[in-house]
């Protein structure tokens, strides 16, 4: 069944693991991505889980691709995974695998054990965001290879191609990784992550901060989310390649119990769109690699 032959949803995901929305012409050196908003749950996955379908959705960045949809109108492509995060986490390295989840030897590359994998949050998660165990029993080694080959790698190949095309066209590229976070009293509405100043320049982060604050969002940086694998992979500002992560508090737009848009959804989406417009309008010369920056006036 893991091959997808007896699961129509899994077969659909294999055929189209992501959705790519493009503007008529790319007008901005930005690429937007959503690795966690997928909400197509294969029945073969749900059947083997000890959790309900609703519980599995607790890890989902629900409707984030809709919240940030203004990116396309502003002239930037938007890549969104269609597979759910509880099934496969595209914001992890492909080798972040918990070998103890499988009943045999894996045929894929595996990193040395890390705290994140040990916690159950590897590329194939063992738990959902609230800490509940997903599976009733161990998985076959084939599962890891299939999920990585048929879903993970196509998503990342598409993202890499978008980045390469943007660099070729503009000489710079900003990857914006879009997420949502569970509500909590100590968390603001927006958390901007740049891996503590390593994945982009201060000017871009300040621009993002001002853009969201000017549209009535409370904002903080890097705490509790500084950026994941995507910002690590594409945050190379010395090469003109920048990456930031944007997390929005689910309380701002979502009924978290039913996982449906809250009454304020359209209003929040409009405010996000306006903030993105201001972010994208940054002076692109600031994003050039240092050696290509114009000399200061003499």
Percentage of the residues of the chain whose pLDDT score is greater than 90: 89
* Domain 8-282 -> CATH class: alpha beta
Distance CA 66, CA 285 (A): 30
Mean pLDDT of the 154-182 span:
98
Q: Is 193:226 a contact under the CB 8 Å cutoff?
A: yes
pLDDT digits (tens, 9 = 90+) for 19-74: 999 999 999 999 999 999 999 999 999 999 999 999 999 999 999 999 999 999 99
Q: What confidence tier does 186 reach under pLDDT thresholds 50, 70, 90?
A: confident
Q: Is 97:125 a contact under the CB 8 Å cutoff?
A: no
Distance CA 282, CA 253 (A): 27
Helix or strand holding residue 272 (H, E): helix 265-280
pLDDT at 240 over 90: yes
Helix, strand, coil percentages (3-state) for the chain, rounded to 5, are 40, 15, 45
Q: What confidence tier does 178 reach under pLDDT thresholds 50, 70, 90?
A: very high
Q: Residue 84 is encoded by which pair of tokens?
A: 């759910």
Distance CA 286, CA 276 (A): 17
- pTM of this prediction? 0.94
pLDDT digits (tens, 9 = 90+) for 111-133: 877 888 999 999 999 999 778 99
Distance CA 26, CA 280 (A): 12
Q: Residue 24 is encoded by which pair of tokens?
A: 């008529």
Distances (CA, A) of 290 to 22, 146, 200, 286: 30, 41, 12, 9
- In the chain, where are the structural domains located? 8-282
Distance CA 87, CA 296 (A): 51
Backbone φ, ψ for residue 22 (5° rounding): -120, 145
Taking alpha carbons only, the member of 100, 91, 94, 153 closest to residue 126 is 100
pLDDT at residue 109, rounded to an integer: 87
Helix or strand holding residue 143 (H, E): helix 141-147
CB atoms within 10 A of CB 138: 12
Q: What confidence tier does 187 reach under pLDDT thresholds 50, 70, 90?
A: confident
């Amino acid at each position: 069944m893991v091959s997808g032959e007896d699961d129509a949803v899994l077969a659909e995901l294999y055929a189209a693991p992501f959705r790519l929305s493009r503007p008529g012409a790319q007008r901005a050196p930005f690429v937007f991505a959503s690795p966690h908003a997928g909400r197509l749950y294969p029945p073969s996955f749900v059947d083997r889980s000890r959790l309900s379908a609703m519980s599995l959705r607790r890890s989902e960045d629900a409707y984030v691709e809709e919240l940030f949809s203004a990116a396309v109108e502003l002239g930037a492509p938007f890549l969104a995974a269609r597979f759910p995060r509880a099934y496969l986490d595209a914001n992890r390295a492909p080798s972040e695998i918990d070998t103890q989840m499988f009943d045999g030897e894996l045929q894929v590359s595996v990193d040395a054990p890390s705290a994140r994998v040990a916690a159950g949050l590897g590329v194939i998660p063992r738990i959902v965001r609230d800490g509940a165990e997903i599976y009733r029993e161990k998985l076959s080694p084939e599962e890891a290879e299939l999920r990585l080959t048929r879903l993970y790698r196509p998503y990342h190949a598409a993202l890499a191609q978008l980045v390469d095309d943007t660099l070729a066209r503009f000489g710079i590229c900003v990857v914006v990784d879009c997420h949502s976070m569970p509500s909590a009293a100590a968390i603001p509405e927006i958390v901007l992550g740049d891996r503590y100043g390593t994945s982009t320049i201060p000017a871009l982060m300040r621009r993002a901060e001002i853009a969201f604050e000017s549209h009535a969002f409370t904002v903080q940086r890097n705490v509790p989310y500084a950026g994941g694998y995507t910002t690590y992979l594409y945050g190379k500002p010395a090469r003109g390649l920048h990456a930031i992560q944007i997390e929005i508090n689910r309380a701002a737009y979502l009924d978290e119990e039913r996982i449906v848009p809250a009454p304020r959804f359209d209003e929040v989406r409009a405010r996000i769109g306006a903030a993105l417009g201001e972010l994208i309008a940054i002076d692109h010369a600031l994003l050039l690699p240092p050696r290509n920056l114009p000399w200061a006036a003499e």
